[in-house]
C-alpha cells in the first residue's frame, strides 16, 4: 500500500492525511491555534494552550493522543465517503452520514436521549477505507446539528425524551457539520487506512476479535416464541400452556417458548410466583414433551421487597451510593437495586441461583435483559470501581461464559461472545424510527460493528401504542425469514387467515434455509464476516450499493429485497455486480442493474441468487 502524506497548518489547526493525493482524513481543532513542534513521516506533535496532540505511527496504524490525561480536549475529524460502524441507534439510518448525532457520552443506553441504544461499538469506518477507533472514554458527535437544535433529557417517561425520529435527527437539509467530534480527557484514538469499507471492516475485526464458538444450532433453525408482546405481564401457567397449544394447533415451527415478565413475585427473586405458576416443573415438563425448550426473562435489578435484595445487601453484592447504601436505580418497572457485576462473588451468587432454578424446574436457559451503562449512576460505588461501559462488558461477558442457550440486548466490546444479541424493543410501525425498516438497517449496523449473531426483535414489534396490521405482520415475517433467527410473540393467526398462511409459509422458509444460515454462521467463526452483509460487499466502490438501506446479502450468494413500506406491491431493486437469478421466476439479470417497479405482491419476498 502506498505511503501516506501529511499536510499541517497551525491556524486553524489541521492535519490532512493523504494517499495518492486523495484525502483520507483531516484532523482539526477549531478553538485555538497550535504550535507545531514536530512534523515528519512518522510523528506529528502540536501544542495548544491546555493540551498537546500527538499523532504517531505504530506499525501500519496510527495513534492520535492528547496529554496531559487530566486535560479536556476536543478533536474533530473529517472523513470523506460514507460512514458505517458504531452499533445500534434508535433512529437507525444507513449510512451514518444521514443522521446528526449530538455530542454526548458514548455509553450503552436503554432508549437514549440522543438515540444511542444497547449495543455500542467505539469504531467507525468509511467507504474510503479509513477506520477510527476510540480506545479511551469519549463524548461523541457525528455530523452534529446546529446549536439551536433541541436537546432531550434522559427520563423513563416519554415526555421530554423526543420522538424516535429525532433520536438521532435526520439530516435531510444537510445542516450537520460533517465531522466526527471526540471529546474527553486523555483522548486515545487509533486510525488505520485501507482501500474500502470491506477492508476497513477486516481491520475492525482484527482489533475487537470475533466469536470462536457458535450459539446452539437450534436457535438458528426454528423460531423463538415469547410471551411479551402478546401478553405483556398478564401471564400465568395456564396462559403459557395455552399459548404453546395455539402454536402447535396452527402448525407453526417452534423451538423456544420464552416466559417473559412477570413470572416471579418480586424482581430479583429467582423463583416462580406460586399463585400464578403453581407447578412450574410440571409446566416445563409438559412443554418439553411437546418439543419446546423453555427460557425465562431475567434482569440485574432487585426489588427492595425481595429476599434477594436483603441477601445481596448483606453480602455486599449490590451497587451502592457514596454513603454505602444500595442504590435504588430507575428502570422501566420502577426502582430497584442493581447487581454489582464487578464483584466476582456477586456474579457467582447470581448465576448459582439461576442454575439452582434450572435444576429444580428444568428450564433450559435465560433471556438476559438490560445491562446498559445508563443504569449505573455516575457516583456509584462498586467492588471493582468500574466505568459505566465496563458494567455492560462484564455483564455480557459473564453471561456468555456460562450460558449459550441465551440472548442479551446490550454489548460493549463483546464481539467475541458466541451468543445472540437481541435488537432493542421495536415499535409497531414501518419506518427507520425504530420500526420495521430499522430491523434491516439495525442488523446491518450491528454486523458491521462486529456482531454476527443478531436476534431481530419480535415480528410486528411490541404493540405498545399501535396495533400491527395483517400487511405489517406479513412483511415483517418475510424480512425476518432469511435473518439468522426468527422471533414471534404476536400470533399471526390473530390477524386473519391470509396473514396466518403467508407467515406460516415464511416461518417454514426460515427452517428450510437454516442449514445455509448455519454454514454461513460457522464461516464467521473463522473470518469474523457478518452473516447478514450490505450489498456493497461484492462492490465496495459502487455508490448505489454503498447507499442501499433496504436490501441485504445472506452470505455472499443470496440477495434479499424485502418490502418495508405499506401498501406496496412493487419496488425498485438494485442488483450489484454479478449474475443474479430470481428465486421464484428463475429469470437471470446481469448486474449492476436497477430493476424498477419490480413485482413484490403481498405473498412474495423478492430473493435473488448469485450464480457464476
Provide the CATH number for the domain around residue 232: 3.20.20.80
Closest CA to 409 of 370, 450, 361: 370
Residues 177 and 236 in one domain: no
Write down which residue in 370, 392, 414 finishes a domain. 414
| 480 lies in some domain | no
Residues 145 and 173 in one domain: yes
| 156 lies in some domain | yes
- Segment 490-500 shows an average pLDDT of 98
The CA angle 142-145-147, to the nearest 5 degrees, is 125
First to last CA, the chain: 30
Residues 35 and 155 in one domain: yes
DSSP state of 460: T
Categorize the per-residue pLDDT at 32 as very low, low, confident or very high, splitting at 50, 70 and 90: confident
Mark 22-35 as b/e (b = at least 16 C-beta within 10 Å). Answer: ebbbbbbbeeeebe
The CA angle 82-184-54, to the nearest 5 degrees, is 80
Reported as type and span, the H/E element at residue 400 is helix 388-402
Residue 369, CB half-sphere, CA atoms under 13 Å: how many?
A: 21
Gap between the Cα atoms of 481 and 460, Å rounded? 13
CB atoms under 10 Å from CB of 342, counted, come to: 19
Query: Helices 344-361 and 280-289, interaxial angle, to 10°?
Result: 70
- Segment 204-229 shows an average pLDDT of 98
Query: And the C-alpha cell for 138?
Result: 469519549
- For residue 2, pLDDT beyond 80: no
Write down which residue in 147, 181, 208 finishes a domain. 208
Mean pLDDT is lowest, of 10-19, 90-99, 165-174, 318-327, for 10-19
| 504 lies in some domain | no
| 25 lies in some domain | yes
Categorize the per-residue pLDDT at 1 as very low, low, confident or very high, splitting at 50, 70 and 90: low
Residues 178 and 268 in one domain: no
- For residue 31, pLDDT beyond 80: no
Residues 127 and 223 in one domain: no
Residue 108 near residue 449 (C-beta atoms within 8 A): no
- pLDDT digits over 196-216, tens only? 999 999 999 999 999 999 999
- For residue 335, pLDDT beyond 80: yes
Reported as type and span, the H/E element at residue 73 is strand 72-78
Residues 400 and 280 in one domain: yes
Look at the pTM and tell me if it is higher than 0.95: yes
Query: Helices 344-361 and 388-402, interaxial angle, to 10°?
Result: 40
Gap between the Cα atoms of 564 and 562, Å rounded? 6
User: Which residue has 469519549 as its cell numbers?
Assistant: 138
| 450 lies in some domain | no
CATH number at residue 558: 2.60.40.1180
Residues 170 and 305 in one domain: no
Closest CA to 573 of 597, 589, 590: 597
Residues 368 and 229 in one domain: yes
Q: Edge to edge, what strands does the sheet with 329-331 contain? A: 301-302, 334-338, 329-331
What pLDDT, on a 0 to 100 scale, did the predictor assign at position 16?
95
What pLDDT, on a 0 to 100 scale, did the predictor assign at position 34?
76
Provide the domain limits for residue 551: 533-611
Average pLDDT, the chain: 96
| 92 lies in some domain | yes
Residues 29 and 75 in one domain: yes
Residues 54 and 132 in one domain: yes
CATH number at residue 194: 2.60.40
Residues 165 and 21 in one domain: yes
- pLDDT digits over 79-98, tens only? 999 999 999 999 999 999 99
Residues 231 and 263 in one domain: yes
| 398 lies in some domain | yes
| 461 lies in some domain | no
**Could you give the number of structural domains in the chain?**
3
Amino acid at each position: 500500500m502506498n505511503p501516506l502524506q501529511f499536510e499541517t497548518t497551525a491556524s486553524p489547526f489541521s492535519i490532512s492525511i493523504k494517499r495518492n493525493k486523495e484525502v483520507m482524513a483531516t484532523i482539526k481543532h477549531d478553538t485555538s491555534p497550535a504550535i507545531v513542534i514536530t512534523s515528519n513521516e512518522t510523528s506529528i506533535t502540536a501544542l495548544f494552550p491546555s493540551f498537546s496532540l500527538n499523532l504517531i505511527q505504530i506499525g501500519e496504524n496510527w495513534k492520535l493522543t492528547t496529554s496531559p490525561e487530566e486535560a479536556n480536549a476536543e478533536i474533530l475529524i473529517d472523513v470523506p465517503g460514507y460512514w458505517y460502524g458504531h452499533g445500534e441507534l434508535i433512529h437507525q439510518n444507513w449510512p451514518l452520514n444521514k443522521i446528526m448525532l449530538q455530542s454526548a457520552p458514548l455509553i450503552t443506553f436503554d432508549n437514549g436521549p440522543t438515540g444511542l441504544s444497547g449495543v455500542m461499538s467505539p469504531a467507525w469506518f468509511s467507504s474510503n477505507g479509513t477506520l477510527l477507533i476510540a480506545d479511551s472514554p469519549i463524548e461523541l458527535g457525528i455530523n452534529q446539528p446546529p446549536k439551536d437544535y433541541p436537546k432531550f433529557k434522559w427520563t423513563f417517561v416519554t415526555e421530554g425524551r423526543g420522538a424516535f425520529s429525532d433520536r438521532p435527527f435526520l439530516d435531510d437539509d444537510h445542516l450537520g457539520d460533517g465531522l466526527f467530534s471526540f471529546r474527553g480527557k486523555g483522548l486515545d484514538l487509533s486510525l488505520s487506512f485501507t482501500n474500502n469499507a470491506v477492508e476497513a471492516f477486516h481491520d475492525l475485526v482484527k482489533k475487537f476479535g470475533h466469536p470462536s464458538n457458535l450459539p446452539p444450532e437450534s436457535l438458528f433453525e426454528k423460531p423463538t416464541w415469547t410471551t411479551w408482546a402478546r401478553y405483556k405481564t398478564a401471564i400465568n401457567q395456564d396462559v403459557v400452556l395455552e399459548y404453546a397449544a395455539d402454536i402447535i394447533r396452527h402448525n407453526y415451527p417452534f423451538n423456544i417458548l420464552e416466559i417473559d415478565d412477570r413470572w416471579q413475585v418480586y424482581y430479583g427473586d429467582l423463583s416462580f410466583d406460586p399463585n400464578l405458576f403453581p407447578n412450574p416443573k410440571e409446566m416445563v415438563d409438559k412443554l418439553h414433551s411437546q418439543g419446546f425448550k423453555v427460557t425465562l426473562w431475567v434482569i440485574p435489578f432487585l426489588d427492595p421487597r425481595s429476599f434477594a435484595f436483603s441477601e445481596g445487601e448483606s453480602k455486599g453484592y449490590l451497587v451502592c451510593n457514596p454513603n454505602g447504601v444500595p442504590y435504588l436505580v430507575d428502570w422501566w418497572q420502577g426502582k430497584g437495586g442493581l447487581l454489582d457485576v464487578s464483584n466476582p462473588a456477586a456474579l457467582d451468587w447470581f448465576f448459582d441461583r439461576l442454575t439452582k432454578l434450572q435444576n429444580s424446574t428444568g428450564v433450559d436457559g435465560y433471556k438476559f435483559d438490560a445491562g446498559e451503562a445508563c443504569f449505573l449512576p455516575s457516583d456509584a460505588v462498586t467492588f471493582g470501581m468500574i466505568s459505566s461501559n465496563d458494567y455492560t462488558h462484564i455483564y455480557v461477558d459473564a453471561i456468555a461464559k456460562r450460558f449459550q442457550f441465551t440472548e442479551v440486548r446490550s454489548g460493549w466490546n463483546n464481539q467475541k461472545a458466541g451468543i445472540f444479541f437481541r435488537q432493542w424493543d421495536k415499535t409497531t410501525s414501518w419506518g427507520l424510527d425504530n420500526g420495521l425498516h430499522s430491523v434491516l438497517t439495525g442488523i446491518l449496523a450491528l454486523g458491521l460493528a462486529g456482531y454476527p449473531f443478531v436476534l431481530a426483535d419480535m415480528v410486528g414489534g411490541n404493540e405498545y401504542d399501535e396495533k400491527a396490521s395483517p400487511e405489517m405482520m406479513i412483511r415483517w415475517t418475510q424480512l425476518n425469514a432469511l435473518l439468522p433467527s426468527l422471533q414471534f410473540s404476536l400470533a399471526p393467526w390473530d390477524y386473519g387467515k391470509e396473514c396466518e398462511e403467508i407467515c406460516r409459509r415464511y416461518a417454514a422458509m426460515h427452517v428450510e434455509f437454516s442449514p445455509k444460515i448455519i454454514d454461513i454462521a460457522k464461516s464467521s467463526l473463522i473470518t469474523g464476516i457478518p452473516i447478514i452483509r450490505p450489498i456493497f460487499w461484492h462492490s465496495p466502490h459502487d455508490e448505489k450499493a454503498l447507499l442501499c438501506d433496504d436490501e441485504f446479502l445472506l452470505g455472499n450468494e443470496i440477495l434479499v429485497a424485502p418490502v418495508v413500506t405499506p401498501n406496496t406491491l412493487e419496488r425498485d431493486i438494485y442488483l450489484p455486480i454479478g449474475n443474479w437469478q430470481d428465486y421464484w421466476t428463475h429469470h437471470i439479470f446481469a448486474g449492476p442493474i436497477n430493476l424498477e417497479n419490480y413485482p413484490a405482491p403481498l405473498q412474495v419476498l423478492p430473493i435473488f441468487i448469485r450464480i457464476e
